[in-house]
Structure 1
């Protein structure tokens, strides 16, 4: 069993009388203490985010204090370990300090000396964990910017929502058109959560035959139906400890929806043909391209399941609502494809940029990625539902000249924001405009240099 994070001090000593006296001292000072008579097995019970400190005697049967220190250092070098030594063990304690121990106390020692050392160690531990949390948050933000490319307002809002939801235990309902990137969002939620070390299991309910969907999801016991010769672990059970992504949930039959609702409410699964309720520690991320509320009103989807799933909805904006992101995404995918195929990188020409910005992208990001792959391979940039002259780079009239110029200007600035720049001066030089002009244009188009992922948002 792991040690509760409310425990502030783990005290280890094989002498029960000393252990009791030290525990009383710490307890009277308002510290939560766990006492142990041996060090064996402690490392497995401590997580890297435990916020306490370890106080251990050096001389103990079995695993001694130095061996414990080495184990704890291997797991978390920043975990404070205080060692208690006898008079003859001072050279050992000095050796331990060089090996990473936080402090040592030589017997006999005053209670105040113990309390002072423990409190300083706890303060250091809090600082270490706060720094880790900040580094993790920065890393998560960078991960999201890499996975969900774009600087449009809808994408900035989506990344913010994902960052807020990832650390929670809430089930999530992802709403988005075909090709919008629902599985990418689901994986981001998993990878940025505390479940990242557990499994991520993705299943498309729309691709499962009605005859096997229950067995696939819930598993079955031998003899549950004709042909069931051995036990099968279902996807829900297989995802235990992690995340299950259930795409096209709207295609599930009403009977299966009843079982899913029970699983969501009770967090247990029962295999087909079985009587045992298996507890689950699992997060469900469902996704749909339909309006489930409308489907519920029409009797095609259970209303109670809809309300249960709709606690934390995430809407992925279609690409046509993210026009200024199209160029950045296209170049990102094209560069990836060029690198993968060992081909030189190609820059989009002005006519091609205009084409991409005017396209409606009915297939969303998936369509754009396929177009970028063709572009990287040197094939014609031809898009669905676009006139042939557009594919050749001839502009297609869409709105007035002023509107087209504004749209194109915004797209160029947005694309340059996606490149690394050390300062606003660097960005202005890349675009060939004075910094004052760039300030005005960023404000006019609702763009923000500090939101672009560049680290130094101030002028040089």
Structure 2
């Protein structure tokens, strides 16, 4: 095995070669020596085997990104083994080489799942070009996966860091400073304050901007599946695992992995995550392979993790590991001067998407927006603007159609706390007291809603 001092898990070495682990399988010792000598100085490391059976043994112990495989092997031939690998879920690149080939053989090889096909004898530039092309295919496939997943998960509630208040200025300054380093960041703030937006800004302004940004909402994955979601799994690792699967750490290679609602992580997975962050290696579920990773971790929570640690729901060592840098996001009620700019931003964003014209907002309505406490923060403001555009006006009765049709409902707003209470109560009534549905309609977390109700009951 030839090993080079390149950082583990990075996509490329300093001279642009893929920082991959490669397995060469060929029964000719001279060919194995030639390929190892050619590839080892350029890639992370290269291992070799003289048969498919030896290659299988190495694959059980080590992760390989690429296999250079001879078709004519003693025992199981290369094409047959490749078919088995693909059926088992091996997703790495495979370059087939042979000295005896015709068109039918080439077609069979490609149908079996080969990335490339090279005839012996070949020169150094041919194998190097094949490796580079395989690397580009793998990179594009990974980016395509991340893009599709990101488009399906990404919420359109961002504020694009709109606003010129002192709070927003401090936040921008913190993001600029943190983007320049590779440290783990913990974002804390109420639901709807834009934690994912800040995480994306950190990624976009960092040296990892060309790598993937992979978000995971820890509350949306069942505790039974979250380990497989993060680290991947081997075929047969659990019931239903009919083939191997890569995890999100793999797809985030060279980029940023964002743990949203990190306080929801089960205790059973927290120790594994801590070890991964410290060692920069993952072990897929049901596998003995250790796979190097190069991922920046950004975590977010709307709870105080220190309180979760004190309550025994979150590991103290993981909390301290995530809290290398702790960044608190201000609630909208603390930077209300930014509301007019946010309203204008959301109008500009939503009108083209909805195919609607902007609506005018009166001074009384602006006053209402600036006085309201916004328990759902920026997300609630965006939802409000969207509903108002659909209704065609932004007045109290149109904005909150659930309110009873009484003079006080349409009168000038003088007691905003009363108006907020009445609005939330009306939403609760409209969903027969279902707090989960009411929180969704209000654009707040259930915990925030319950806190508001508890405050009224204790008053």
Normalised by the length of structure 1, the TM-score is: 0.53
Alignment partner, residue 241 of structure 1: 254
Distance change in 2, residues 1:345/1:259 (3 Å): same
Q: How does 1:109-120 map to 2 (within 5 A)?
A: none
Distance change in 2, residues 1:236/1:324 (3 Å): same
> Does residue 1:285 correspond to 2:303, yes or no?
no
Question: Secondary structure at the residue paired with 1:314?
Answer: strand
Question: How many residue pairs were aligned?
Answer: 262
Distance 1:393 1:314 in 2: 41
Alignment partner, residue 267 of structure 1: 280
Distance 2:408 2:208 in 1: 47
Alignment partner, residue 2 of structure 1: 14
Q: 1:207 aligns with which of 220, 228, 236?
A: 220
Alignment partner, residue 412 of structure 2: 394
Distance 1:172 1:3 in 2: 30
> Does residue 1:331 correspond to 2:349, yes or no?
no
CA contact (8 A) 2:159 2:342 kept: no
CA contact (8 A) 2:360 2:393 kept: no
Distance change in 2, residues 1:393/1:181 (3 Å): farther
Distance 1:381 1:259 in 2: 51
Q: State the shift of 1:376 in Å.
A: 2.3
RMSD: 2.8
Distance 1:264 1:292 in 2: 18
Distance 1:184 1:300 in 2: 26
Question: Secondary structure at the residue paired with 1:335?
Answer: helix
CA contact (8 A) 2:218 2:261 kept: yes
Q: How does 1:265-414 map to 2 (within 5 A)?
A: 265-377=278-390, 378-382=392-396, 392=410, 394-397=412-415
Alignment partner, residue 154 of structure 1: 167
CA contact (8 A) 2:159 2:378 kept: no
Structure 2 unmatched runs, 5+? 1-12, 17-41, 43-124, 126-157, 418-459
CA contact (8 A) 1:218 1:271 kept: yes
CA contact (8 A) 1:331 1:372 kept: no
Question: Secondary structure at the residue paired with 1:202?
Answer: strand
Distance change in 2, residues 1:266/1:391 (3 Å): farther
Question: Secondary structure at the residue paired with 1:147?
Answer: coil
Q: How does 1:161-176 map to 2 (within 5 A)?
A: 161-176=174-189
Distance 1:293 1:386 in 2: 39
Structure 1 unmatched runs, 5+? 5-40, 42-62, 64-144, 400-460
Distance 2:196 2:395 in 1: 27
Distance 1:174 1:157 in 2: 14
Normalised by the length of structure 2, the TM-score is: 0.53
Distance 2:379 2:408 in 1: 20
Q: 1:219 aligns with which of 227, 232, 239?
A: 232
Q: 1:258 aligns with which of 271, 278, 290?
A: 271
Q: State the shift of 1:216 in Å.
A: 0.6
Q: State the shift of 1:298 in Å.
A: 1.3
Alignment partner, residue 228 of structure 1: 241
Distance change in 2, residues 1:246/1:146 (3 Å): closer
Distance 1:349 1:332 in 2: 17
Q: How does 1:134-153 map to 2 (within 5 A)?
A: 147-153=160-166
- Superimposed CA distance per residue, residues 413-458 of structure 1 (whole angstroms, 9 cap, x where no aligned partner): xxxxxxxxxxxxxxxxxxxxxxxxxxxxxxxxxxxxxxxxxxxxxx
CA contact (8 A) 1:351 1:393 kept: no
CA contact (8 A) 1:171 1:283 kept: yes
CA contact (8 A) 2:359 2:393 kept: no
CA contact (8 A) 1:218 1:237 kept: yes
Q: How does 1:28-47 map to 2 (within 5 A)?
A: none
